[in-house]
Amino acid sequence: MTHRKLAPGRLVIASHNAGKVREIRALLASFGIDPVSAGDLGLPEPEETGTTFRDNALVKAHASTAASGLPALADDSGLEVAALGGRPGVYTADWAERQWFEGEKGRDWYMAMGKVEGLLAEQGPDVDRSAAFVCTLALAWPDGHAEVFEGRAAGSLTWPPRGTLGFGYDPVFIPAGKSLTYAEIDPAEKHAISHRADAFAKLVAGVF
């Protein structure tokens, strides 16, 4: 399959999640790209109406490129828990209800991690705790062309949450072969092994 190449220049990171934007900026650092986030440009957050990571990544990428006239890179990601039949999956963000924190509306990740843990606990102490993070990147151009790349990282869930680095469900996810959670390891180390890094490597091979 041939991919369209991305010319150096401005690119919108089509995400309103500060943790993701930080990671994508770091991953883009060496490619002659000048990233600006959808939040920086005041672009609206589209409704994620898709039922797959791919569909939602495309919704977000097309929305930002249409609103800005620039190429846009979106990330739709989530946690698939084996014993929960792959849930929360595309609904990972929705499991963290929006609540007010210090005057700002944010998502309650502790509650969401607790919900996953509660469902696992219902299956007893010997429940399979394996899980995978999925990241689907969609890059869209203003003429409507788009490219999609998917990454995965296998691991297992721990409880209680550990670590203060990263974002979202990082404090409960231990990547395969490691003993620390994503929230306990250096961001550079997460970038070497994460689902986002896996998807990004495929994007780099395809469009850079």
Ligand X SMILES: O=P(O)(O)OP(=O)(O)OP(=O)(O)OC[C@H]1O[C@@H](n2cnc3c(O)ncnc32)[C@H](O)[C@@H]1O
Annotated binding site for Mg(2+): 47, 76
Minimum Å distance from CB 94 to Mg ion? 8
Residue 159: left if φ>0, alpha if ψ -120 to 50, beta else—which one? beta
Please list every residue from 52 through 91 that binds ligand X, using CB under 6 A: 60, 75-78
Rounded distance, CA 207 to CA 2, Å? 9
Decide whether 34 or 91 has the Cβ nearer to ligand X: 91
Binding residues: 15-20, 47, 76-77, 167-170, 190, 195-196
Q: Give the nearer residue to ligand X in terms of CB position, either 7 or 29.
A: 29
List 24, 61, 73, 93, residue binding ligand X (CB under 6 A)? 93
Active site residue 40: no
Amino acid at 58: L
Would you list which residues are annotated within the binding site for substrate?
15-20, 77, 167-170, 190, 195-196
The type of residue at 175 is P
The strand ranges marked E within the chain are 9-13, 33-37, 72-81, 98-101, 104-107, 130-140, 146-157, 173-175
Complex with Mg ion: residue 90 or 174, whichever CB lies closer: 90
d(CA 92, CA 173): 13
- Alpha helices (runs of H) in 78-174, residue ranges in sequence order: 109-121
The binding site for Mg ion (CB under 5 A) comprises 93
The binding site for ligand X (CB under 6 A) comprises 15-17, 20, 45, 48, 60, 75-78, 92-93, 133, 166-170, 182, 194, 196
